[in-house]
Amino acid sequence: MVIQGHDRDRLLLSVTKPTRYLGNELNSVHKDPASVQVRFALAFPDVYEVAMSHLGTHILYHVLNSRPDVYAERVFAPWVDMEERMREASIPLFSLESWTKAREFDVIGFSLQYEMGYANVLNMLDLAGIPLLASERANTDPLILAGGPCTLNGEPMVPFFDAMALGEGEGLVLDLVDAYLSWKQSGRPGGRRGLLSDLAAIDGVYVPSMYRVGYCKDGRVSSIEPGEGLPRTVRKRVVEDLDIAPFPLYPIVPNMDVVHDRVVLEVFRGCTRGCRFCHAGFTCRPVRERSPETLLDQARRILAATGHDEISLSSLSSTDYSGIKTLLDLLGEFEAKGVGVSLPSIRADAFSLSLAEQVRRVRKSGLTLAPEAGSQRLRDVINKDVVEADFLEAVAQAFQSGWNSLKLYFMVGLPTETGEDLDAMVDLVKRVREIHRAQGQKDRLRLTVSASVFVPKAHTPFQWEGQIPLDEVKRRQEHLARRLRMPGVKFSWHDAEVSFLEAALSRGDRRVARAVEGAWRRGARFDAWTEHFRLDRWLEGFEEAGLDPAFFANRPRHYDEVFPWDHIDVGLSEEFLMREHRRAMEGQKTSDCREEPCKSCGVCLELGVPMDIKGGESTGGSAHQGPAEETP
């Protein structure tokens, strides 16, 4: 224990929300460290409430602790007040369950969910007393791993990690533990280097120090060379059958209010809608569903183990789940006990709306719809399958069913966006208000219009696009804010500076790591929290590293450019992404491969894992029986 007794009490009483640090929640796992072979820290670079809302952390906690020879504990970023106390009193970063020093663990695995957590990773390593750079770590230092969506272009963070685990972690994390264990038990042959070569041999493990990157004079990447005996590309891992994949049936129940205080059922992974801006939509393929029966069984057990009163259906687009009707009927059994079901965000069509109405019998909740763009033209460019007439129809139906608060999600700065598209967004909002007025609804309309900023992401058809310059984003946001100033409408927009940084980091190469470190040294942390984010720290960090963030954020790329993530294989074929990019520029939609022939994105064949549709009333679809004819 880093600290105990009275001193621990005093420390806890001197910070806000001490329950963040107790580690004694219901269903938390406590083992005798002497009885295990591997101590694994699941690290999340954000504060407790955010970390505990991350399903992946719960899954890995369950998977690892199911093994008697492994003890997995949680290590989260201490909030700023706690960090201050810890630094004053020289208390190193510790695990929640046993308050053990993080640096005493065998393995620390960080979850990289968003770029704005990068500075926190460095801060946590520093608080733990572990050298930031993998190259400077000694044999006695823990193995530092990363997983999560950001590892699919983790280059700006690679110098800080010994290895990265690509794709879904259930099987992968156990392979990593096994390799670590056999290295440890056979007397650590070859030291750290030896361990890394063992890890590099595992499917889905990327050891960055074993790949050499070359650069052109203008700063673009010229080549990525694997070390001897290593493959040119490292492919992400996927779970084949979600019905038999492990899932935590006794999840930890936080003692405090967390973002998602409810039972989370993961109904499926992947998405085939193919919205061209969407990182998850392209990198989480193929679609694999859980069957309604498995989900019902999980719901029963998790409710009994936690006592929650809400079930949330988690996936990228839950109303697309083929067994959704069956599932909602099955979950109806909990209604009498006051347990409600929530659908986080639904498609704007009549079918989805009827589902939303069904679940609302138990719990009144707001309705969230995401048209993403104002004009049909731009929606075709991004391949968002929303038709204005259907959308307005759904809105009208929603008002009729008594919803008076509505949230609409849009994006600003999408490729090819013009003033007309922005005007169309304003017009769409006006139409929504008119419908409400025309229906003569008694209750006042509460319309929240929320606009995020488009960030081009790796492994999507828009990876070749540049983000529009920061000033221009701000100009468009202000223009919208002015035009959307109308009664009953609340317009909120995403911080343009945060989005600019996100764009610079998400497609950065490994030289950007120096900028991350520079920003952290200047005090950057909790960048996802508006009150802590300051762009100037990052600009200075980039400057110190001799790099221009605009080079990564705003520059359009040619088709022949070597990307910093070219050696990371998510199963998509490059021709497919290029074709999608070209079709976007031509305003051509591409249909969903669940409903129409396969678009040969490559995933199902490449990964050897077919699309898996479990529910009864599937809308058909021909999956991946070979490439379909494309209309150019």
Shortest reach from residue 544's CB to ligand SF4, in Å: 36
Cα–Cα nearest to 172, from 201, 144, 140, 209: 201
Shortest reach from residue 284's CB to ligand SF4, in Å: 8
230 binds, among other proteins, ligand SF4, none (CB under 5 to 8 A by kind): none
Strands 211-215 and 221-226: antiparallel
135 binds, among other proteins, ligand SF4, none (CB under 5 to 8 A by kind): none
C-beta neighbour count of 266 within 10 angstroms: 19
User: Which lies closer to other proteins via its Cβ, residue 358 or residue 618?
Assistant: 358
Partners of 314 in the beta sheet?
Answer: 266
Nearest residue to the partner ligand SF4, using Cβ: 281
Cα distances from 598 to residues 319, 384, 605, 610, in angstroms, run 21, 18, 11, 12
Contact 137, 162 (CB under 8 A): yes
Among positions 3, 19, 29, 423, the unique one binding other proteins when judged by CB under 8 A: 19
Kindly indicate which of the ranges 18-26, 155-163, 369-377, 547-555 contains the residues binding other proteins, using the contact rule CB under 8 A. Answer: 18-26
Q: Which residues contact 519 (CB under 8 A, 6 or more apart)?
A: 119, 537, 538, 540, 541
| Residue 253 within binding range of ligand SF4, rule CB under 6 A | no
Cα–Cα nearest to 21, from 11, 30, 29, 31: 11
| Residue 88 within binding range of other proteins, rule CB under 8 A | no
| Residue list 232-261, contact with other proteins (CB under 8 A) | 253, 255-257, 261
Among positions 271, 468, 505, 528, the unique one binding ligand SF4 when judged by CB under 6 A: 271
Cα distances from 258 to residues 71, 261, 328, in angstroms, run 24, 6, 25
User: Which lies closer to other proteins via its Cβ, residue 19 or residue 441?
Assistant: 19
CA 281 to chain centre: 11
Per-residue burial over 183-220, b = 16 or more CB atoms within 10 Å of its CB, e = otherwise: beeeeeeeebeebbbbbbebebbbbbbbbebeeeeeeb
Q: How far apart are CA 572 and CA 281, in angstroms?
A: 11
392 binds, among ligand SF4, other proteins, none (CB under 5 to 8 A by kind): none
Show the tokens assigned to 297. 């069984």
Partners of 205 in the beta sheet?
Answer: 165
User: Which lies closer to other proteins via its Cβ, residue 335 or residue 540?
Assistant: 335
Q: Which residues contact 300 (CB under 8 A, 6 or more apart)?
A: none
| Residue 129 within binding range of other proteins, rule CB under 8 A | no
User: Which lies closer to other proteins via its Cβ, residue 253 or residue 392?
Assistant: 253
| Residue list 286-345, contact with other proteins (CB under 8 A) | 303-309, 337-338
Among positions 275, 311, 362, 611, the unique one binding ligand SF4 when judged by CB under 6 A: 275
| Residue 379 within binding range of ligand SF4, rule CB under 6 A | no
User: Which lies closer to other proteins via its Cβ, residue 363 or residue 483?
Assistant: 363
| Residue 174 within binding range of other proteins, rule CB under 8 A | no
Among positions 31, 235, 363, 514, the unique one binding other proteins when judged by CB under 8 A: 363
| Residue 324 within binding range of ligand SF4, rule CB under 6 A | no
Show the tokens assigned to 251. 């999840």
Q: Which residues bind ligand SF4 (CB under 6 A)?
A: 271, 273-275, 278, 280-281, 316-317
Q: Which residues bind other proteins (CB under 8 A)?
A: 9-10, 12-13, 18-19, 22, 24-26, 253, 255-257, 261, 303-309, 337-338, 363-364
